[in-house]
Every structure is written in structure tokens, then in C-alpha cells.
Structure 1
Amino acid sequence: MPIEIHQSDPQSYAVAADFLNVADVEVVSLQHEFGIFGGNAGDHILELVQRLRTPLVTTLHTVLAAPDEAQRRVMNALIRSSARLVVMAEKGRQILQTVYEVPNEQIAVIPHGVPDRPFLDPAMAKHDLGLADRTLLMTFGLLGPGKGIETAIHALPALVRNHPKLIYMVVGATHPNLVRHEGERYRDSLVALAADLGVSDHVLFVDEYLSIEDLLKYLTACDIYVSPYPNAAQITSGTLAYAVALGKAVVSTPFWHAQELLSDGCGMLFSFGEADALSTAVAQLIEDDSLRSAMRTRAYARGREMVWPSVAEQYLDVFSKVRFERRSAGAMVIPFPASVGEHDRLPPVSTTHLASLTDGVGLVQHTKFAVPDRRHGYCLDDNARALLVMSELAGLVPLTPQEDQMTLT
């Protein structure tokens, strides 16, 4: 990494901008979240973006429908400085247009990227975790208030009465900012809540910051993924995107991203804070195998639109367009001349030399100029390439009898 920004040092952002301005960089991609950057509402980042001479593409991980004064000031500055704003849901586009008056042509919607994994039955993964006989519910992500874990725990007593093998796994370390201010008080409160409700044996906390591979092992084992966010204003959820991409049956509150991602039968929604509604939805999925299977299939199909190669192509398209739009005003675009008449036809292809290297066995590997050197024999990859050449040629022009024979050799 050529340069690193110190979060709380405004000068560090200015130095980064100067570095990018003299580096061989054609487009700068900024991943923006208010909690990442220092200053009031993360306004230190403006020291960087307002100094840039290179085109900027900003990906907005949060789009606030009701920003305070400081947040709006930062957003307005980012909008002015960005050639494109990328959001991960159509709701983000709507908010940018209605709240911030951003023109549609400045906005691109690209989904949250996800790993490309096969569609697997949870049974084997549960066996590897020592949970082969359990029905596994799961929520993952950095632990902290505002995730709705309390609602999921409150739903457990009704569920475990009819499904005593059920276990709810909460995967992820406590958010480091929360640990810094109050230690593990929040996690302890969830443990106490489970004890008060008599479901301690049905709640398993995995208090670790896992690698992607380890996280995917847990997620693969999950039968039903629960996303109990307590409010609607969640424009994107990476955890929900991962669950859908792995083909999980998902039960979620109707926050913005969930409404889009789980539409058309890709998941089930329940009202915010309604533990009874959550337990009813989960029970329905546990008891109806065909419903759960169909939901998983639809979710996995939708996830193919979000795998990283597809997302990368969409970003590359945005970067290419921005680069072209911001080219030097004095630059001249030289169009390719239209092909007409004689120029449309391919020049004649001669296979004379190829024929001289081919005998009844195949294509000789080496030559001395145009004379085959039979001491070195034949090579499989050379013959494979020769066959490709002849196959391509046959698609362009009729082959001569000699060329037909070469193809069959």
C-alpha cells in the first residue's frame, strides 16, 4: 500500500490527494461510510476529494433520507466532487434523486458483491461443526445494538417448544468501538436475556472475527438465516447479500435493502420488533420442506447477479465511462473508418506451410526454416492449436481437399 491515511489527521487526507494527483491513476474509487473517516460526520474526507484532479467515483454504503446539517454538508460536497455515485439498491437511487437532487445520469446502481459458492445442502457443513442433528438459525456480523438480536432471542421460546433441536447461532465479534467504550456489556445482556427466557441451551455465540472462508463455512451450515434489523433505514446489508448468495432461506424485517433483495419469493419478511411474527415465519420454513427448498433456489439464482466477477465488470464499465467523459478537453477522438467494399473481405489464407509440416501422423513439432525436423517428433499442444486453426478456417471459407485431409490427420 503506497500511502495510508490516519483517520483523525486532516493533513493526512490532503497528502493522499497530492499523492493521487501525481500518481499514474486515471480514476479514484472511494468507499464512503460516515463512520470510517474522522471529523464531524466524517468531513475529513473532504480534504481529499476536494483536492483531487483525478475523476472520482464514490460508492455510498449509507444514503441517509433524513441527514442532519453536518451529514448533508458532507454529502453535498461528495456529490459535487464525484463523477459518479454508486449505490447498492434502487432505494439509494430514489433517495439521491429526491433528497439530494442528484441527476439520474450521475447515479449507478451496482449490487453488493458476494463470493461465488456452489449451492450446497447444509447437512454436511452442520456435521463438520458438530451440529448434524440440529436445526440451525443464524445471524452474523459485528455485534452491537441496532442489529435486532433481542427480537430473535425473544422468538425462541415459542419455536423450541415444537422444535427442541433448534439452535440460534450468533456469529461475530463485538464491534470494536463498542468494546472500547463498554467492554462486553451488550453481549452479556444478550446472554442474560436468553437465560431469563429459558433458552440458553438454544443460543450459541461465536465470539470471533472470522476470515471469509471460516464465515462461509458457518453460513453454509445454516438452515434459516435471520436478519432482524429494527428499523427501515438500512440501504444495504452485506450480511443479507451473503446469505442470499449462498442460497439460504431468509427471514428478515422489511428494511430497505431486504425489501428489494427478498422480493419475488427470495425470502420472507416480518414486522419490525415482532418476535411472534418471526417465530411463525421460521416455524413455517422448518415444517414446509418444499417452501424452504423453493425459496433457497430462488435466492441462489438471484445471488448469481451479485457475484464478484459480475460486480467487477459493472464497476469497470462505470470507471471506463468516467475516464472517457473526463478526458482532456483538447483530446481528439479518432474514429475507425467504416469498412466498405473490398476492405470487408478477408485476405486469402494460405495453408501451404502448415501442409509442409504435416504428415500422416500429425504436425511436426520443430523445423529448420521450412524443413520439418523429425528428430523432435510431435507435440500435443501444437497439434491441438493446428486443429483449432483449421476448424476456424472451415467456418470462414470452404476447405480444399488437402485442407480437409489435414484436419482429419
Structure 2
Amino acid sequence: MFRTYGFLSTYPPTQCGLATFTAALLHHLTAVTPGSDGRVVRVLAESGHESPVADGTAVVHPMAPGGVEAAAEVLNRCDTVVVQHEYGIYSGRDGDDVLGVLARLRVPVIIVLHTVLTAPTPGQRQVLEDVVDHADAVVTMSEAARHRLLAGYAVQRPDEVVVIPHGALVVEPPARRPSADQPMILTWGLLGRGKGIEWGISALGALRDLKPRYLVAGQTHPKVLAHEGEAYRRYLRNRAAAFGVADLVEFDPTYREVGALAELVGQADVVLLPYDSSDQVTSGVLIEALAAGKPVVATEFPHAVELLAAGAGLLVPHRDPAAITAALRRVLTEPGLAAGMSDRSASLAPALSWSAVANRYRDLAEDMLAARVVVTT
């Protein structure tokens, strides 16, 4: 059935995880609902004079800070609206501009939660509870996030909270065995403090006999770049030099589109996610690594614990270079371990594909529309 899907989110050319997520979900959601189209209200960090534009997939309308009425007017012309929620993208106290939009919407609303904090400030807690209260359905991307939301926040309708994983491009992984010459350890994503890359660098010295290549791929996050420039990248370079492993670390700031990124990930022998946060309940990079069939070494953040515990990767404590060293050595040298991890990842991949994820959003939207019809009749 023809539908018009509305989205409220950051959106390309903004470079952030939410923008990339929204573009991919919109593309695949319209693909699995033939004849449908999309409208995006693109959240901007500051006021500008941009006009609506068509990007080939949707009509994109800018939303500057405070522009709640115009945003709601656009979204009310859609059948269903998908709102991405993350602290920091909306203006107002604790991002409460989003509440002004939600209060004006008359169509079914799906709220996608990208962060559920363990210890929010009172303002953050109130905003998130109000956001959820405006939703017809709430999506978390992991069971850990759903449990944290229901246990730690006042949720009036817990049965409306569902888990739909972050999507990924699933491609047939290339036949590849760890290179005897220079196995590649890969970390990628927008760079910023909290990624824990310093701990990966600290772990390399004890792996020198394996001659690894640690590739850190990705641009500095735009907000980090605006606030402190390339200070974190310089810190990492200096740390590599101080630990005597500068020759084993490569920084590649190239921005890659989906296909080029998939090609890069396909070259990796192991993906390292040494994140500092113990709060992280959603990781798109983790999902993409598993969809690519890659062995993963990750710190014990909730999303990693949930997805890797069954054998797709190894978990290590936070800020523990020795544990990272041991885990990487196991993956790169222990017979059959990496292959077993890849097999386990392959079994998870079908449910993580963007088409599978989009189908679940479509079904959720149709259920909400059907419920509205029942109520009005």
C-alpha cells in the first residue's frame, strides 16, 4: 500500500550516526513498500536559510532551532512519522524542542531511542519520559536498552516498547584468512573521546611478533571538530609514538560511502571496539561488523554483551590493554576461533539486514495505522 513516511532527525550531508541511520532506513523502508515516498525534517544545529530539496529518496525540509511549528506541519502530511531521539541533536533544555514538535503531531509516531542513560539528570529523565509518552510505539535497538528504559523510567505503556535492531548492509564476506605478513585490526567510525582507541594502541606492543596493522578509519565527529579540532587524533598519534608502536598504527580520515566502507571492513581480520562507555546500548559499528561476518573484540558495553556472548566475539574489560592484547592474539592465532566467530556472525546477519529491519518498521507502522482506524470507527 502506498505510504508517505515522515522522519525527524539529522540527515546527510550532516555526518553523524543518526543521519546515516535515517538515510538508510528511509531508503529501505520505501523500497519494501513499493510506490511509497518519504519526507524528512532535517534537524540543524543553527538557523539558516535552506529551502526544501529533493535528494532522490525524499523531500528534505530543514528545521532550525525553535522551528517546531513548521516541522510539525510537514510531518502531519505523512501517514506515519519516525522520530530519532538522541540527546544533543535538538535545541532547548536537554533537547526539549522535540517535545514541541511531538505535541503538534496528529499522525502515528514511532520514537527510536538511540541512547537510554543509566544515570540521567532530572531534566534528561523528564524529557525522555515525555518523548516516550507522545509515542504510539517506541523502538529500542537492543534488549538491554528496552530493559533499562522500563526499569529506570516511568513508561506508561510498556507493551508499546519493541526491539528492532540497527540495520546493516549485509554482503557476502570475502574468503579471507588472517595474513601471516600483516593481519589487519580495524576500528572505524566518527572519532572522538570515549572511543577508547588509546587502549587499543596500548595493546599493540605485546603483539609486535604478529606484525599487526591497526587501522583507525574515520573522520573526527563534526561536533568534536568544532569544539576541539583534531586534539584527540593528535593525542592518539602521540600515544602511539610514546608506546613505540607508531609504525603499527595507521589513521585514515577518509569519509567512505556504504559500499566503500563495506569493502574496507571486508579486508579486516578482526574488528576492535575498545569503547570506554559502559552505557552504550546501541552500536551501529558492532552491527555492521557482525553483518560483515567479522570476528569482534569489544569492551563490555551492554550491546556488545548482548550480541557477542553467544560466540560472535570476545569481550574484554574496559580500559584494559592487557586483556585486549590477549583477546586479539587469540583471534589471530588460535586455530578455528576466528572461523567459528564468523559462522556465528553469519547466523545473526539475516535479521540485521536493512531490508529485514525495514520490514519490521513497515509492519509496526501498519499496525499503528490499523489501530487508529479501529479507534476512529
Q: Same fold (TM over 0.5)?
A: yes
Q: Residue 193 of structure 2 is aligned with which of 145, 150, 160?
A: 145
Residues 13 and 48 in structure 1, CA contact (< 8 A), matched pair in contact too: yes
**Could you say which residue in structure 1 is the equivalent of 2:73?**
18
Quote the residue 1:75 is aligned against.
Answer: 128
**Distance in 2 of aligned mates of 1:283 and 1:3:** 46
Deviations 1:24-81 (A, max 9, x none): x221111111122122221111111111111110010111121112211211111110
- Is this contact kept in 2: 1:229–1:272, CA < 8 A? yes
Cα deviation per residue 1:171-198 (whole Å; 9 max; x = unaligned)? 0011111111221111011001001111
Q: Aligned pair 1:295/2:348, yes or no?
A: no
Query: What is the rounded CA distance, in whole Å, between the counterparts of 2:149 and 2:105 in structure 1?
Result: 23
1:195 lines up with 2:248 in the alignment: no
Check 1:2–1:216 CA distance in 2 against 1; reply closer, same or farther (3 A cut).
Answer: closer
Residue 129 of structure 2 contacts residue 154 of structure 2 at CA under 8 Å; is this kept in 1?
no
Q: Which of 167, 182, 185 does residue 134 from structure 1 map onto? A: 182
* TM-score normalized by the length of structure 1: 0.75
Partner Cα distance (2:115, 2:337) in 1: 33
Larger Rg: 1
Q: Does 1:245 align with 2:291?
A: yes
Q: Give the match for residue 55 of structure 1.
A: 108
1:58 partner letter? I
Verify the 8 A CA contact 1:5 1:16 in the aligned structure 2: no
- In the alignment, structure 1 residue 224 sits paired with structure 2 residue 270: yes
Please state how far the C-alpha of 1:7 moved relative to its aligned partner: 3.9
Q: Secondary structure at the match of 1:29?
A: strand
Structure-2 separation of matches of 1:71 and 1:289: 48
- Establish whether residue 167 from structure 1 lines up as the match of residue 230 from structure 2: no
Correspondence 1:267 to 2:316: no
Structure 1's consecutive aligned runs of 4 or more residues displaced over 6 angstroms after TM superposition are none
Matched, 1:39 2:89: no
Number of aligned positions between the proteins: 321
Q: 1:231 Cα deviation (Å)?
A: 2.5
Summarize the Cα distance change of 1:318–1:280 in structure 2 as closer, same or farther, 3 Å threshold. Answer: same
1:156 aligns with 2:210: no
RMSD of aligned Cα (Å) = 1.8
* TM-score (norm: length of structure 2): 0.81
Q: Deviations over 1:125-162 (max 9, x none)?
A: x9xxxx994200010000110000010000000011x2
Candidates 119, 122, 133, aligned match of 2:173? 119
Deviations 1:370-393 (A, max 9, x none): xxxxxxxxxxxxxxxxxxxxxxxx
Tell me, in whole angstroms, the C-alpha distance in 1 between the residues paired with 2:288 and 2:308: 12
Unpaired runs of 5+ residues, structure 2, are: 1-38, 47-63
- Aligned twin of 1:108: 162
Q: Given the alignment, which residue of 311, 318, 321 partners 2:367?
A: 321
Q: Determine if contact 1:6/1:12 at 8 Å carries over to the other structure.
A: no
1:303 shift after superposition: 1.7
- Alignment deviations for residues 341-365 of structure 1 (CA, whole Å, 9 cap, x no partner): xxxxxxxxxxxxxxxxxxxxxxxxx
Where 2:311 maps in the other structure, the secondary structure is coil
C-alpha contact (below 8 Å) 2:43/2:90 kept by paired residues: no
Q: Distance in 2 between matches of 1:155 and 1:2?
A: 43
Aligned to 1:169, what secondary structure does the other structure show?
strand
Give the letter for the 2:167 counterpart. Answer: G
